Amino acid sequence: MGVVMKSLLLGIAAVAVFATAAHAVDIGGSYRVVGKNLDGSEYTGTAEIVVTTKNTCRITWVTGGSTSEGICMRNGIAFSAAYVLGKEIGLVIYEVNNNGSMDGIWTVADTPGVGTESLIPR
């Protein structure tokens, strides 16, 4: 194999390793929650993520005096969770940032609009 071909293959391998490392942020743990409700009012709280498999997890939020629980899934920089809050079912979609924080949007079934939420590692 030529020197040029070896250099090219090593370069491709290095890019693959660094790209994977950027997406390998561990999502399990405790987070500070900062968000906006559908009506624009702000809220804060905490979230706890427990990883259950390579791509799946459980998440619990405590915000505004209420607790909601859900299942979650990660695919690269995409992280999503389906949750139950009282009798309501909701969905949140986050983007995982390189620093371990996540920024996303959320909604509740059959309700117009979306809220925003950030999870910041504690």
Q: Which domains does the chain have, with CATH numbers?
A: 26-121 (2.40.128.120)
Mean pLDDT, the chain, rounded, equals 85
39 three-class SS: coil
On whether the CB atoms of residues 108 and 114 are closer than 8 A, the answer is no
| Residue 113 Cα distances to 53, 55, 118, angstroms | 32, 28, 17
Residue 86 pLDDT class (50, 70, 90 cuts): confident
What pLDDT sits at residue 4? 43
pTM: 0.79
Question: Taking 60 as the threshold, does the pLDDT of residue 85 lie above it?
Answer: yes
